[in-house]
């Protein structure tokens, strides 16, 4: 392994090696995560509904998704005649690329962050906004009313829920005193460190709800509500285009849960096991919550969705932020 | 305490804005629990209260501004410079706000429920202008420029409930946004040239290394202000906006905002104090502006449109004073602007009073247009208003003994001193043209009979205001020595840094 | 070999310009908006190269994430097709091109004349030099508040020009609440005005609309049309 890295460094230089290794690692993470999540989700669904879920291929149906992927890749990519070709083809890429950047910002362990920047948290949210543009481009260029409706819903929903998401994260930032994800973890793991889930339970609740909505997951999945909109913004996508949107969605779920684990659950902090393992475990715990939410709650209506964000979550997160700031100031003055 | 005193007028304005905002959200707050009648009652109460608060508050601000006149120094890390110039202009602005508030006190055409907000925007816009005068740093300058402009964009379409007014509003907003973007572009180049956003520091940097790029940057940067002044290539919005907005809003845009624009221009031109070619740019704009404005005004049949085009021409005269970038010219320009404020307010006083008598049109809503023929026989219907109109128009035409005459004389003198004789010649010709169309209006008021015209019953306050402001215009014209030395000192301080 | 970051700078700058050109030249508003999005993202890249990471992130969140989305949303909501955008471009181009050429000339000339004497001073690497007689933060990286003004390291405006503090959250915050506090605060007044204005002009409930009246008819061929005004009696054309 080291020898391989040395050879690479010899030919590509330090920068190139980091880039290449990082890229390969992220691509692996994205694929494995998506494949696992599809299987996991179907299994949990089966468990919730008292049935078995996929069982045919491999032990407990573990190979089912792999075969699904092969099937998907083998399918013909149809580009309908009336679409805006350039935008139609660009859209999945725009939706997916930010995910790579966001994954590279996550702190998998102390000192295991591919791009360690000072305002990493902000950058993650920033790229999330860009991916929304991809969804929107896909929806519009499809020239399909269901897709367009889905796209419009996605935009209003994402804009509405981005505020509580950011505001709840900001409460944590106030506690940690930094926007750097590594330092936020460090603030929770030091000697007197306390996971922020203890100090910021309200923020965690808001964060999880808003994150579920941001990833367009049930019960907030109105942008792709099958029963109303066929498949929402990706109605017209087939084959690879669809696969990329699909991949992006599962990657974003991983990312929001990764941020959640970083902000509230101490990142890679934990006894016995190495940091990255803890991190992944926490992420999948949060993902499990999201999956359970999907199979537990019915889909919200559009107005209920908007009311929840603007009239409840945003005021609540503002109050939380203000209270946090006030408490921190008093503690600072007191000490 | 001294620090607060320096910021006193602005604090007053902020307080006034806050009070109006609170009225709008408390008394004027809508509640579904109320039935239609109660809701209507509350709206009327809110409108009444905000009218009173607006008028009294603006008078209060005028007092505060007068109290703060001798303040001197900087605030907010040198971003805000308070001196005789800024304090004098703030007094004028506060006076202009009082006038506009009074003219707008029962604007028929603003829906009752929107009245508190209408006054709020007027206040905020004036606040923006007041800060514009003191802004000594480009980012501050730009933000407050936007504040003063944005509120005006909202005030125009507020008069409407349906589509017919929207064209003017769009025109105003889109031209405004574009010029403000151009302005911002110029400011970024200035920052690039000087490496700082402080106006004096930029002026020094440009003086040390003059270049044509600096000229381009300054010209681009003043575009946004020239737009507010409605100088020739940026005037397109003026006639439409004057015509369709309510008389109160039009008065505010025509009078108070012009004072703000001139003062802001003086402040911003400081960056180009050593850019000599500005002389030609400003001179060229002056010629184009007066010629175009005057020629276009001749053909107007609507008094507000006529005033708009005459405003374009007046902007040209004012630029005459700025082209030399010396204290004499600045003094003349400011003096003229103060006189112009009073004269425009006089005209709008008449417009508001006469407009009240016009038949309702446009589907049961009062109309905002005021054809010149509506003034027929004004001297029989209300001699006081006719006199006010006469003084206002003759003042703008530059007839002695009004402030308009003295102001023009000062402007021309300042222009000759910077060797712009050819410009003064053109301005003189223009002035002759201008007298023609002002006299058309005067003729309607004094020569035409009053047959078939509705009765006019201006209130006591209106009469007093008419007489008072007319006297002020004449007084200002006859005794310039009461104002000019103070302005001169202010300008010297401004130019001296 | 060129420095990697310099190469990136050229890439981002090229993309920004290309995006801007795309905005102007694309026939369809949506294509224009997408070009603008790329322009905005490239600008964020340039900010990041300048070590202003916070500004870069904010640029992406605000411009690419929020503003562009809203722009596109509104274009779609109004269903603006490419047909609406093609009418007057030629004339505008004829007028705009000379102006553009002039501006480019001036800018180019200005840049060449300025290029020699680097306008902005380079960021300081060592300790901060205090003005005589004034206490200031001398070491911006030690976590100690030297001048006792309760602002440590980068949070102190004294450190604004120091390399390790440039573009950090602390430095930007200290600048916003220091030298630029006035525009920062006045922006809130401006935003308030914006919110009230938006509610006022759009927020009327359907039942509360004024009685619907057809807008006054425009006389076909009237002078008003020529000057682009549908208001009554525009006689501008008579001049």
Counting one residue from chain B and one from chain C, the pairs whose CB atoms sit within 8 A come to: 155
pLDDT exceeds 70 at position C157: no
Touching check for B131 and chain C: CB below 8 Å? yes
The arithmetic mean of pLDDT across residues C79-92, rounded, is 60
Its pTM stands at: 0.83
Contact call for C53 and A119, based on CB within 8 A = yes
In this structure, the answer to whether residues C69 and C134 fall within a common structural domain is no
Q: What was the pLDDT predicted at C131? A: 63
In this structure, the answer to whether residues C131 and C184 fall within a common structural domain is yes
Query: Which CATH number is C18's domain given?
Result: 1.20.120.1200
Task: Let me know if residue C148 belongs to a domain.
Answer: yes
How far apart (Å, rounded) are the C-alpha atoms in residues A148 and A146?
5
Q: Is C222 left (phi over 0), alpha (psi -120 to 50) or beta?
A: beta
The arithmetic mean of pLDDT across residues C47-53, rounded, is 82
pLDDT exceeds 50 at position C234: no
Share of chain B above pLDDT 90, in %: 6
| Chain B residues 55-74 within an 8 A CB cutoff of chain C | none
For A139, name the nearest residue in chain C, comparing CA atoms only.
C76
Confidence bin at A94 (pLDDT 50/70/90): confident
| Residues in chain B closer than 8 A to C186 (CB atoms) | 131, 140, 143-144, 147
Touching check for B181 and chain C: CB below 8 Å? no
Contact call for C31 and A86, based on CB within 8 A = yes
pLDDT exceeds 60 at position B454: yes
- Please indicate whether chains B and A are in contact, defined as at least 3 beta carbon pairs under 8 Å: no
Shortest distance between the Cα of C211 and any Cα of chain B, in A, equals 8
How far apart (Å, rounded) are the C-alpha atoms in residues A245 and B149?
44
pLDDT tens, B15-37?
A: 999 998 988 888 777 666 667 78
Shortest distance between the Cα of A288 and any Cα of chain C, in A, equals 28
For A91, name the nearest residue in chain C, comparing CA atoms only.
C34
Which range, of A189-198, A200-209, B216-225, C155-164, averages the lowest pLDDT?
Answer: C155-164
* C162: phi then psi, degrees, rounded to nearest 5: -95, 140
Q: What was the pLDDT predicted at B142? A: 92
How far apart (Å, rounded) are the C-alpha atoms in residues A141 and A90?
10
The arithmetic mean of pLDDT across residues B73-94, rounded, is 84
Contact call for A123 and C4, based on CB within 8 A = no
Which residue, of C20, C46, C80, is where some domain finishes? Answer: C80
Contact call for B14 and C189, based on CB within 8 A = yes
pLDDT exceeds 50 at position B58: yes
Cβ A146 vs Cβ A235: under 8 Å: yes
Give A143 or B140, the one with higher predicted confidence.
B140
Which residues lie below 8 Å from residue B429, measured CB to CB, with a gap of 6+? Answer: none
| Residues in chain B closer than 8 A to C197 (CB atoms) | 121, 150-151, 153-154
Contact call for B239 and C236, based on CB within 8 A = yes
**Type and span of the H or E element at B73:** strand B73-75
Contact call for C72 and A87, based on CB within 8 A = no
The arithmetic mean of pLDDT across residues B376-394, rounded, is 85
Contact call for C61 and A125, based on CB within 8 A = yes
The arithmetic mean of pLDDT across residues B89-116, rounded, is 81
Give C15 or A188, the one with higher predicted confidence.
C15
- Closest partner residue to C186 (CB to CB) among B144, B158, B365 is B144
Name the interface residues of C facing A (CB cutoff 8 Å): 4, 28, 30-31, 34, 37, 41, 44, 53-54, 56-58, 60-61, 64-66, 68-70, 72-73, 76-77, 168-169
Q: What number is the ipTM of this complex?
A: 0.85
Contact call for A132 and C41, based on CB within 8 A = no
Mean pLDDT of chain A: 82
Contact call for A117 and C53, based on CB within 8 A = yes
The arithmetic mean of pLDDT across residues A20-31, rounded, is 82
Task: Let me know if residue C95 belongs to a domain.
Answer: no
Tokens of B124: 């905020």
pLDDT tens, C199-229?
A: 887 766 444 444 444 444 444 443 333 343 3
Task: Let me know if residue C226 belongs to a domain.
Answer: no
Shortest distance between the Cα of C107 and any Cα of chain B, in A, equals 6
Which range, of A14-23, A57-66, C118-127, C146-155, averages the lowest pLDDT?
Answer: C118-127
Contact call for C72 and A126, based on CB within 8 A = no
Give B365 or B479, the one with higher predicted confidence.
B479
Q: How far apart are the first and last CA of chain B?
A: 24
**Chain A adjacent subunits, 3+ CB pairs under 8 A:** C
B198 beta partners: B137
**Chain C adjacent subunits, 3+ CB pairs under 8 A:** A, B
pLDDT exceeds 60 at position C148: yes
Q: What was the pLDDT predicted at A292? A: 87
* C52: phi then psi, degrees, rounded to nearest 5: -100, 75
Highest mean pLDDT of the ranges A35-49, A75-89, B353-367:
A35-49
Shortest distance between the Cα of B193 and any Cα of chain C, in A, equals 7
Mean pLDDT of chain B: 84
Q: Which ranges of A49-84 would DSSP assign to H, the alpha helix?
A: 64-74
The arithmetic mean of pLDDT across residues B318-342, rounded, is 87
| Residues in chain A closer than 8 A to C76 (CB atoms) | 140, 148, 151-152
Q: Where are the domains of chain B?
A: 295-497
Structural domain range at position C163: 123-204
- In our burial notation (b when 16+ CB lie closer than 10 A, e otherwise), range A231-250 reads bbbbbbbeeebbbbbbbbbb
For C72, name the nearest residue in chain A, comparing CA atoms only.
A136
In this structure, the answer to whether residues C75 and C127 fall within a common structural domain is no
**Chain B adjacent subunits, 3+ CB pairs under 8 A:** C
The arithmetic mean of pLDDT across residues B130-146, rounded, is 90
pLDDT tens, A106-143?
A: 887 766 677 777 778 888 888 888 888 888 888 888 87
- Evaluated on CA atoms B89, B95, B98, B101, the torsion sign reads negative
Strands B80-82 and B73-75: antiparallel
Shortest distance between the Cα of A140 and any Cα of chain C, in A, equals 8
Cβ B332 vs Cβ B410: under 8 Å: yes
Name the interface residues of A facing C (CB cutoff 8 Å): 15, 84, 86-87, 90, 117-119, 122-123, 125-130, 132-133, 136-137, 140, 148, 151-152, 155-156, 159, 162, 178-179
Task: Classify burial at A306, counting beta carbons within 10 Å of its beta carbon; exposed 0-12, middle 13-18, buried 19 or more.
Answer: middle
Which residues lie below 8 Å from residue C204, measured CB to CB, with a gap of 6+? Answer: none
CA angle C29, C34, C39 (to 5 degrees): 120
The arithmetic mean of pLDDT across residues A198-203, rounded, is 84
Number of domains in chain C: 2
* B68: phi then psi, degrees, rounded to nearest 5: -90, 15
pLDDT exceeds 70 at position A189: yes
- Name which of B426, B433, B435 is nearest B402 in CA terms: B435
- Closest partner residue to C57 (CB to CB) among A123, A152, A178 is A123
pLDDT tens, B151-162?
A: 988 888 776 544
Shortest distance between the Cα of B198 and any Cα of chain C, in A, equals 11
Cβ B136 vs Cβ B78: under 8 Å: yes
* Cα A300 → chain centroid: 20
Q: What was the pLDDT predicted at A244? A: 84
Contact call for B161 and C186, based on CB within 8 A = no
**Type and span of the H or E element at B80:** strand B80-82
How far apart (Å, rounded) are the C-alpha atoms in residues B349 and B103?
7
CA angle B104, B108, B114 (to 5 degrees): 75
In this structure, the answer to whether residues C59 and C131 fall within a common structural domain is no
pLDDT exceeds 50 at position B336: yes
Q: What was the pLDDT predicted at C214? A: 42
Contact call for C53 and A123, based on CB within 8 A = yes
How many alpha carbons fall within 13 Å on the CB side of residue B174?
A: 7
Shortest distance between the Cα of A120 and any Cα of chain C, in A, equals 8
- Closest partner residue to C168 (CB to CB) among A87, A118, A156 is A118
pLDDT tens, C185-198?
A: 899 999 999 988 88
Shortest distance between the Cα of A162 and any Cα of chain C, in A, equals 10
- Please indicate whether chains C and A are in contact, defined as at least 3 beta carbon pairs under 8 Å: yes
Cβ A317 vs Cβ A206: under 8 Å: yes
Select from C92, C110, C208, C209 the residue whose CB has the most chain B CBs within 10 Å, as the one to mutate to test that interface. C110
Highest mean pLDDT of the ranges A205-214, A268-277, C107-116:
A205-214
Contact call for C213 and B162, based on CB within 8 A = yes
Q: Is C205 helix (H, G, I), strand (E, B) or coil?
A: coil
- Closest partner residue to C76 (CB to CB) among A123, A129, A140 is A140
B365 beta partners: B361
Share of chain C above pLDDT 90, in %: 5
């Amino acid at each position: 392994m080291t020898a391989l890295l040395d050879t690479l460094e010899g030919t590509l230089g330090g920068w190139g090696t980091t880039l290449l290794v990082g890229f390969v690692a992220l691509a692996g993470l994205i694929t494995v995560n998506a494949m696992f999540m599809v299987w996991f989700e179907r299994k949990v669904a089966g468990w919730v509904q008292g049935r078995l879920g996929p069982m045919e291929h491999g032990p407990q149906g573990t190979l089912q998704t792999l075969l699904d992927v092969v099937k998907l890749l083998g399918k013909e990519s149809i580009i309908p005649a009336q679409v805006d070709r350039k935008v139609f083809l660009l859209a999945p890429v725009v939706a997916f690329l930010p995910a790579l950047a966001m994954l590279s910002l996550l702190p998998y362990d102390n000192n295991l962050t591919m791009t360690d920047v000072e305002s990493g948290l902000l950058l993650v949210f920033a790229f999330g906004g860009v991916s929304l543009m991809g969804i929107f481009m896909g929806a519009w260029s499809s020239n399909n009313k269901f897709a367009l409706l889905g796209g419009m819903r996605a935009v209003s929903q994402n804009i509405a829920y981005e505020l509580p998401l950011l505001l709840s994260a900001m409460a944590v930032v106030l506690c940690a005193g930094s926007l750097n994800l590594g330092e936020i973890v460090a603030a929770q793991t030091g000697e007197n460190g306390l996971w922020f889930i203890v100090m910021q339970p309200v923020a965690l609740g808001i964060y999880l709800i808003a994150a579920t909505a941001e990833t367009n997951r049930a019960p907030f999945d109105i942008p792709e509500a099958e029963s109303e909109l066929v498949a929402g913004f990706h109605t017209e996508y087939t084959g690879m285009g669809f696969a990329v949107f699909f991949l992006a969605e599962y990657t974003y779920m991983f990312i929001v849960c990764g941020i959640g684990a970083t902000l509230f659950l101490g990142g890679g902090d934990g006894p016995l096991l190495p940091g990255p393992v803890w991190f992944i475990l926490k992420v999948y715990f949060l993902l499990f919550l999201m999956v359970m939410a999907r199979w537990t709650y019915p889909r919200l209506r559009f107005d209920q969705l908007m009311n929840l964000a603007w009239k409840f979550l945003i005021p609540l997160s503002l109050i939380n932020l203000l209270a946090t700031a006030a408490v921190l100031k008093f503690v600072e003055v007191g000490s | 305490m001294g620090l607060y005193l320096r910021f006193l007028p602005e604090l007053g304005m902020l307080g006034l804005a806050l009070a109006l905002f609170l009225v709008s959200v408390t008394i004027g707050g809508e509640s579904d629990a109320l039935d239609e009648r109660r809701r209507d009652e509350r709206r009327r109460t809110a409108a009444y209260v905000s009218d009173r608060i607006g008028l009294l508050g603006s008078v209060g601000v005028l007092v505060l501004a007068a109290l703060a006149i001798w303040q001197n120094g900087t605030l907010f890390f040198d971003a805000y410079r308070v001196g005789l110039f800024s304090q004098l202009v703030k007094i004028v602005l506060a006076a202009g706000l009082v006038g506009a508030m009074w003219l707008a006190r029962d604007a028929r055409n603003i829906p009752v429920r929107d009245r508190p907000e209408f006054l709020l925007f007027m206040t905020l816009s004036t606040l923006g202008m007041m800060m514009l005068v003191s802004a000594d740093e480009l980012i501050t300058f730009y933000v407050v420029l936007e504040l003063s402009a944005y509120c005006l964009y909202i005030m125009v379409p507020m008069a409407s409930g349906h589509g017919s007014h929207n064209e003017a509003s769009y025109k105003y907003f889109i031209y405004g946004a574009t010029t403000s973007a151009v302005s911002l572009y110029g400011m970024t180049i200035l920052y690039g040239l000087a490496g700082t956003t402080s106006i004096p520091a930029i002026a020094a940097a440009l003086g040390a290394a003059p270049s044509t790029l600096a000229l381009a940057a300054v010209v681009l940067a003043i575009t946004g202000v020239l737009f507010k002044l409605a100088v020739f290539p940026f005037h397109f919005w003026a006639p439409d906006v004057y015509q369709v907005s309510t008389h109160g809003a039009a008065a505010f845009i025509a009078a108070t905002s012009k004072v703000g624009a001139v003062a802001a221009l003086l402040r911003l031109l400081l960056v180009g104090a050593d850019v000599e070619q500005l002389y030609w740019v400003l001179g060229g704009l002056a010629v184009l502006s007066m010629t175009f404005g005057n020629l276009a005004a001749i053909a107007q049949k609507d008094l507000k449109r006529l005033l708009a085009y005459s405003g374009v021409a007046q902007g040209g005269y004012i630029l005459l004073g700025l082209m030399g970038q010396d204290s004499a010219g600045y003094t003349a320009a400011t003096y003229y602007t103060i006189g112009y404020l009073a004269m425009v307010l006089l005209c709008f006083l008449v417009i508001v009073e006469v407009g009240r008598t016009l038949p309702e049109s446009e589907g049961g809503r009062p109309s905002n247009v005021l054809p010149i023929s509506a003034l027929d026989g004004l001297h029989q219907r209300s001699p006081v208003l006719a006199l006010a109109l006469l003084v206002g128009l003759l003042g703008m035409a530059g007839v002695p003994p009004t402030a308009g005459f003295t102001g023009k004389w000062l402007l021309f003198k300042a222009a000759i001193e910077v060797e712009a004789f050819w410009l003064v010649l053109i301005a003189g010709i223009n002035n002759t043209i201008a007298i023609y169309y002002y006299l058309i209006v005067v003729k309607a008021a004094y020569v035409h009979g009053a047959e078939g015209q509705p009765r006019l019953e201006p209130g006591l306050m209106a009469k007093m205001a008419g007489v008072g402001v007319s006297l002020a215009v004449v007084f200002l014209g006859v005794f310039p020595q009461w104002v000019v030395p103070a302005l001169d000192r202010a300008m010297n301080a401004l130019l001296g840094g | 070999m060129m420095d990697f970051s310099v190469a990136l700078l050229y890439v981002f700058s090229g993309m920004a310009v290309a995006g801007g050109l795309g905005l102007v030249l694309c026939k369809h508003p949506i294509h224009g908006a997408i070009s603008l999005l790329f322009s905005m993202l490239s600008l964020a890249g340039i900010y990041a190269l300048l070590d202003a990471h916070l500004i870069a992130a904010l640029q992406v969140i605000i411009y690419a994430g929020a503003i562009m989305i809203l722009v596109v949303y509104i274009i779609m909501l109004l269903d603006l097709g490419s047909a609406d955008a093609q009418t007057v471009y030629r004339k505008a181009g004829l007028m705009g091109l000379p102006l553009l050429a002039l501006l480019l000339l001036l800018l180019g000339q200005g840049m060449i004349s300025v290029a020699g004497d680097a306008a902005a001073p380079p960021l300081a690497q060592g300790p901060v030099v205090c003005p005589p007689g004034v206490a200031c933060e001398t070491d911006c990286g030690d976590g100690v508040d030297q001048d006792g003004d309760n602002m440590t390291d980068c949070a102190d405006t004294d450190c604004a020009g120091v390399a390790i503090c440039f573009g950090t959250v602390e430095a930007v915050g200290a600048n916003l609440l220091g030298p630029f506090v006035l525009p920062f605060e006045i922006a809130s007044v401006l935003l308030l005005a914006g919110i009230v204005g938006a509610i006022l002009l759009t927020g009327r409930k359907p039942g509360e609309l004024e009685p619907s009246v057809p807008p006054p008819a425009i006389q076909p061929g009237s002078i008003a049309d020529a000057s682009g005004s549908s208001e009554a009696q525009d006689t501008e054309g008579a001049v």
